[in-house]
Structure 1
């Protein structure tokens, strides 16, 4: 007589994998030490001899229980949290846009009260407020996208897990890797630094305005003063520039030290003549080592807005990005052109100095990449003349708040600034600084005030210009030695790397 049971109570025939070592044998047990299915013949042989084993059916049941537990946790607890955060960030974006609109209205109202002489001040105010506002919105949008991508990914994981609930394939279930810990690490909240617009109006006497660390004041002088000057416009720049001081010195990082690229407030990527790149903090502690694909050393480094490290590999002709400590090829430069220094700009585009051999000298130009595609080449002026001089020194690049591309051309001993279209706005050769030795620029950055700052390796100093190329002053009292690499952190401090000694000085000047 046969036993008859309901269809739901019948036993499911599991599919046991074949043994890779013993033909014709099925793996019915699992080696717990090696975490793999084995057959009865494998148990007494190396490498499984003496190891703990358990029935594969038990392993299968344990995995099924883990999958169900993870899936329930993701669906019941984690996804609802992310949906709440999605709603919060959507509201924050809306209110942030409203605040930016209010800021613009207030700015226009204040501008009508000022005289024509302050147009250049408000040009700076416009640039700063737009830059700070866009930075907040860009960061918020990226955070919003991250939340939504995680929700989508978790929903996909739930569907995949649900397919495994009743899977008969032991290998498929056994290969399950839990993502629960990863999903439980909730992304941190955004730290918005919204600009404050302050003003003081004393009609007939004084007008002042400030935003994002920039202050400007217009004063009406007495009649006697007007005889020597129609009006006197003072800004907070001169006063702020007197506050230059070294707040930290990191000794002997690389010798020579070629370049530095700040990450946030207290960390920096550095490289010299080694194949690896270091991430260190303001105390000199090494936090990460990235081994590059370069035969010798990187030709240039930069950091994206997402704080991902990028470097150029002259041997492969690629610009690589580092993710999970692994290098991925992002850009391949045109045939005959080698990538060197990099600059990741606010739009997400990447500016790359490339050089190519042509005759006795190397040709130099800058390519703007949007993703993997070439968007613009900066190499000739309106008359077809080369903007950058032929030579073997690398170009250093930075973008200003108004979209200008600022380039340190050591071959020409000049800083060249071009607009968004690649048209030359001005050149600076160091003459106004009246230094003893010839001007030899290397690293270059711009700051929140749209000032252009560059190292001068011959005169052990920094030169500071306004956005129109007007010389402001030199910083030469900060124990700088052959300053080469230059970067600015999220707090507006300068990190200056010495090419010869390998020291890094962190300087506050605003």
Structure 2
């Protein structure tokens, strides 16, 4: 039955409370019968709007349908994807929790083994002391025993001699006798030995726990999540900016001391960090004036550099498998890897650190998210269990976090830019424009800008001297070329969306404008 008519059968007039009410006042929200309409209009305090109940119900029905449509749109477009992302993050957290628990247990056992080894060493040392004292004790007893046995033998002989002399009548033999009684009256020395004792210290459990080490406390906090539904016609992202047909070269920034220039990272709109084919990382202003230089702790070329939100410089060191923070004149080792070699770095908008690394045998590659030195997330395989990133070879993989929290990896060996969500779910692989022949795209440097566009340098053919611009969904927008670029490699973007390009073979950093 149509709900509009079923409702009409039961609704009564609000004034007479008897007659069926086929009318409704939209102003007073009152049901009326025909006889009571005039009485209702007699109230001059309001401008009444009486309509047929069917019309009101129809309008109300459509209003409710509009509410339903809005709720459905919000659920499908905003709320459900957020819950999906939360569920994916929880799944990742469960996996990471198990791995971390196994790691803690392994470290606990290693520490226990180390303490056992130390205790065994102490026991061996004390046993050696006991053995030495036993040897000294036994030697003293045996010496005393030897001297006593010798005296006993001599006394026995003297006794026999005396008996013979007493029985003989030979005056000559008796006259030769010399008494040894005075000698034998000096009895053997009596050994006084103070035996050693083990004086064990009472085991202090608290001190032992301190020696063993401690676990940092587990911190579990909940953080409210929210989202903003864009108002009709409004954009949640920065205003769209059109790209220039031909990018403009703003300035050439010379760097000194590099045979090859690899990486550039913006400290500010006026200062850039660089690294290249030696162990020195250098800070320049836009005039090319050297402001600061720092040598890596290992003396090896850094794999990659990145500027943190607080203005520190982090670098990856292949030699000792470490991630280090340069703050002022001090270098602090944040992370030391075991079984993995760090390659590319990225400091995220939340202050986390993303590290792309390969295994020692070059057979695996993964991205790990750190908060300080604590591992929070590992991204390595897709939903089918297949590797997200290529392995083997010596290609460095660079990465960048996009404004939408996507993680973008330039995987030259795979010939692709691999983009995953913050939860580690594969979003797309960009392998070049549709016209790109297979195997002719080799992305190296990578960065993102305020429009969530992704920029990557293409080293597949040095003579192209070009940079690809793609949008946040992997759509090719255009090339940056024909602007004097030579051998582009490392990339970064400042707060105004100016692009800084490290040219590998020229040793220059070029500042480009590519938005109107």
Query: Normalising to structure 1: TM-score of the pair?
Result: 0.53
Give the match's secondary structure for 1:367.
strand
2:345 maps to which of 342, 346, 368? 342
Deviation at 1:479, TM superposition (A): 1.4
Residue deviations 1:288-341 (CA, integer Å, cap 9, x gap): 0111112321111100011111111222221111112110111222x1101121
| 1:398 aligned residue (400, 403, 417) | 400
Listed as ranges, the gaps of 5+ residues in structure 2 are: 1-226
The correspondence of residues 86-485 of structure 1 with structure 2, limited to 5 A, is 113-114=232-233, 127-128=236-237, 239-242=242-245, 244-251=247-254, 253=256, 254-333=258-337, 335-358=338-361, 361-391=362-392, 392-432=394-434, 434=436, 438-459=440-461, 460-485=465-490
3-state DSSP of counterpart to 1:287: strand
- String of CA shifts for 1:90-138, please: whole Å, max 9, x gaps: xxxxxxxxxxxxxxxxxx9996554xxxxxxxxxx76536xxxxxxxxx
Distance 1:504 1:419 in 2: 31
Contact 1:249 1:503 in 2 (8 A): yes
| Higher gyration radius (CA) | 2
Q: Tell me the secondary structure at the aligned position of residue 512 of structure 2.
A: strand
How many Å separate the matches in 1 of 2:435 and 2:350? 33
Structure 1 position 434, deviation (Å): 4.3
Distance 2:489 2:331 in 1: 26
* Distance in structure 1 (CA, Å) of the matches to 2:422 and 2:438: 34
Residues 127 and 410 of structure 1, relative CA distance in 2, 3 Å threshold: farther
Q: CA RMSD in A?
A: 2.4
- Find the aligned partners of 2:403 and 2:318 in 1 and give their Cα distance: 30
**In structure 2, distance between residues paired with 1:373 and 1:126:** 36
Determine whether 1:486 maps to 2:488. no
Cα 1:276–1:110 change in 2 (3 A) is closer
For the 8 Å contact 1:261–1:303, the answer to whether it is kept is yes
Structure 1 distance, partners of 2:386, 2:412, is 18
Tell me the CA shift for residue 348 of structure 1: 0.7
- Counterpart Cα distance in 2 of 1:283 and 1:272: 19
2:506 corresponds to 1:501: yes
Deviations 1:398-457 (A, max 9, x none): 111111001100110110000011111000111336489811111111100111111112
In the aligned structure 2, how far is the partner of 1:126 from the partner of 1:393?
A: 39
Asked if 2 retains the 8 angstrom alpha-carbon contact of 1:265 and 1:489, the reply is: yes
Whether the aligned pair in 2 keeps the contact of 1:262 and 1:489 (CA below 8 Å) is yes
Query: Given that residues 246 and 481 in structure 2 are in contact (C-alpha distance below 8 angstroms), is that contact kept between their aligned partners in structure 1?
Result: no
Give CA deviations for 1:461-488 in whole Å, capped at 9, x if unaligned.
1101111111111111121112110011
The alignment partner of 1:354 has SS state of strand
Q: Does the C-alpha gap of structure 1 residues 305 and 503 become closer, same or farther in structure 2, counting only changes over 3 Å?
A: same
The question of whether the paired residues in 1 share the 8 Å contact of 2:486 and 2:506 is answered with: yes
Q: Is the 8 A contact 2:415 2:439 kept in 1?
A: no
C-alpha contact 1:301 1:312 (8 A) present in aligned 2: yes
Contact (CA 8 Å) 2:246, 2:483: kept in 1 or not?
no
Find the aligned partners of 1:508 and 1:246 in 2 and give their Cα distance: 7
Give the drift of 1:238: 7.5
Q: Mark the runs of 5 or more structure 1 residues left unpaired by the alignment.
A: 1-107, 115-124, 130-235
Structure 2 SS opposite 1:381: coil
Structure 1 CA distance for aligned equivalents of residues 352 and 494 of structure 2: 20
CA 1:127–1:293 in 2, change beyond 3 Å: closer, same or farther? farther
Deviations 1:328-359 (A, max 9, x none): 111222x110112110001111000111133x
Partners of 1:438 and 1:370 in 2: CA distance = 37
SS at match of 2:314: strand
Q: Are residues 491 and 239 of structure 1, via their aligned partners in 2, closer, same or farther at CA, if it must alter by over 3 Å?
A: closer
Separation in structure 2 between the aligned mates of residue 243 and residue 438 of structure 1, nearest angstrom:
23
Question: What is the number of equivalent residue pairs in this alignment?
Answer: 284
CA distance in 1, matches of 2:444, 2:304: 13
Quick one: distance in 2 between partners of 1:316 and 1:110? 47
1:502 positional shift: 1.4
Contact 2:266 2:307 in 1 (8 A): yes
Moved more, 270-279 or 240-249: 240-249
